[in-house]
Amino acid sequence: MGLLETIREPGDLNSLTALQLTELAQEIREFLVKTVSQTGGHLGPNLGVVELTVGIHRVFSSPHDSLIFDTGHQSYVHKLLTGRQNFETLRQKDGLAGYPERAESEHDIVESSHASSSLSWADGVSRARQLEGETDRYTVAVIGDGALTGGMAWEAINNIAADKNRKVVIVVNDNGRSYAPTVGGFANQLAALQHELQNKLDKVRLDSRYERTLTTAREKLQQGGPLGRMVYQGLHGMKAGIKDVMVPGGIFEDLGMKYVGPIDGHDLEAVESALESAKNFGGPVIVHAITEKGHGYAPAVSDKDDMFHAVGVIDPETGEALAKPSDKSWTSVFAQEIKEIADERKDIVGITGAMLIPVGLKPMAAAHPDRVIDVGIAEQHAIAMSAGLAYGGQHPVIALYATFLNRGFDQLLMDVALHKAGVTIVLDRSGVTGPDGASHHGMWDLALLQFIPGLHLAAPRDAVTLREELREAVAIEDAPSVVRYPKGSVGADIPALERLADGTDILARTGEPHTETGQRDVLLIGVGAFARLALQVAELLEDRGVTLTVIDPRWVMPVPSSVVDLAGQHRIVVSMEDGVRAGGVGSRIRQEMRAAGIDTALNELGLPAEFIKHAERHEILEEVGLTPQKISSDILAQLSGTMVPFARGEGEKPKHTL
């Protein structure tokens, strides 16, 4: 049995010797590489926080002391040390979540995987402890240097620093990166601290005898000798003391907080010593730990782009992906098109929130480095700043994950839309995203955006319409425009039978209108990628003799007039959207139909207004009833007035694939 298997709760760490702790750290890294390479997940960030997490759990006592991880993707080691070592189903349906989750353990507090919020949580939790008189309980927040580019973190620090009696320890995991290298003035400040430390240590570098003695003492300490422990601790403490004397706390101490560091975040003795000092201080403390993303795993360390931030299934020896996508991704289509648009138009400015590579702006940045801006994890700033760029004659294109648009909603409403600014927002990974769970599903944007005055919202169904609608979006100069698309492969193009005058595409049309009513049976409205689902439903219904029309509005806001007109030409209207159905596109179409005096029955199909747990996309869609068979069965029942189950024979499988 290895050491890791003996750790069932954090208290089990306290009996381990220094040598055993070193062995445990190595076991944890080997475990992570082996398991995450089979399931996919956030490998690089967790390899970088092994000693840091072990040290936190040895110095503090969870759950009596509250541990908060920002953003939570670096909590795998925390899970291992709190009795959760069943990583075989990591991020899979009914398996271990990829982020902290309260239902899994009393050691988990914050489930949201949006960055920069941990310090606000720490402020709130520590205030509650103070109000309850629980003065022996600490609140520890682990925040990456990238998350400190978010303004919300500094709002929290401003409040935490004001109270000198609150037991808050903020551990800054400084690896110089969020997803990509950390940018901005704060990143420069941290780098300056490291540089100053190195320069001063070089000037007062102790002679080789000291270094040899320290090495010998470390060896004796690992062998368990009491003399080695005494000598090593004395020498190591002297070296740490030099650091404390020589390195200023910079901006942290200017704010009134105790600063400890920088420390080597992979040196467990240094980590524990710093955390003990912070604990004994009794007030708010910043512990600045220097770590390396992907530490101990050569393929991650050598990957200078994202250092294996998140991986799919890989070869654990080489780090090579084992399952490469057979089709181009939505992101790659956007990446190519926005670069070509930027080649043609000098006013196009790309903006990213610390995610240059994952949102597809890297090719544009390579070609036009002066026209791509990485603002850090600061969506609010990105959107408000874009209004200023538009005022100055530029056309900003802000590329975000759809889930992170939520954070900049006020700025989109009051800074962009109110001022009729020509700003384009591109939402990657919209709808159900799968294994990352509730806080990463991009399912809220369609409902959130419906009531913003003047906003234009496009939902392309394939690569061709993504290119078209992106170009149409950046041509809008007097209002905000949004283009949204899902995660993964874009799939085959879906040609239209006809494009109507207002841009709506007719994708399929079967049968003739009924003589007595002049109507067809069903109008299927497929929003964005759900156009493919609508066509699958149409194939199944056509086999049952149902007459229908399938349309893709392309621009779902404002609602094209042709959609309303077509609704009046059918007995039933069914809208399908990869977003929450409450207040979504279907709801907006219903309002427009009523305003036009059209009383055709409308079924709004979409995601429930719930926080949906992690699972594969197809599993989630099946669970919420968004499958061709279920939708077809319900439509047939509505048309006939009886609940007749729809046959699912081999001959009735739809030709289109999701």
52 three-class SS: helix
Amino acid at residue number 108: D
Beta-carbon contacts of 492 under 8 Å, excluding residues fewer than 6 positions away, are 462
Cβ contact 447:583 at 8 Å: yes
Q: Which residues, in sequence order, are CB contacts of 390 under 8 Å at separation 6+? A: 396, 416, 419, 421, 422, 423
Annotated binding site for thiamine diphosphate: 73, 113-115, 146-147, 175, 297, 379
Binding-site residues? 73, 113-115, 145-147, 175, 297, 379
Residue type, 468: E
3-state class (DSSP) for residue 428: strand
Both tokens of 357, joined, read: 């590579």
Burial class (CB in 10 A: 0-12, 13-18, 19+), 638: middle
* Other CB atoms within 10 A of residue 173 CB: 27
CA 409 to chain CA centroid, Å, is 17
Tokens 């935490």 sit at which residue?
160
Round to whole Å and give the CA distance between 605 and 587: 10
Distance CA 44, CA 260 (A): 25
CB count in 10 Å sphere of residue 599? 10
Structure tokens at 467: 């290119």
- Give SS3 for 151: helix
Which amino acids are annotated as binding site for Mg(2+), given as ranges?
145, 175
Close Cβ partners of 652 (under 8 Å, ≥ 6 residues apart): 540, 543
What does 581-633 look like in DSSP terms, one character per residue? STTSHHHHHHHHHHHTT---EEEEEEE-SS-PPS--HHHHHHHTT-SHHHHHH
Closest to 177 (Cα-Cα) out of 215, 158, 217, 149: 149
3-state SS assignment for residue 285: strand
C-alpha closest to that of 314 among 37, 29, 534: 37
The DSSP-derived string for 87-103 is GGGTTSTTS--SS--TT
Residues 6+ away with beta carbon under 8 Å from 372: 349, 350, 351, 352, 356, 361, 364, 365
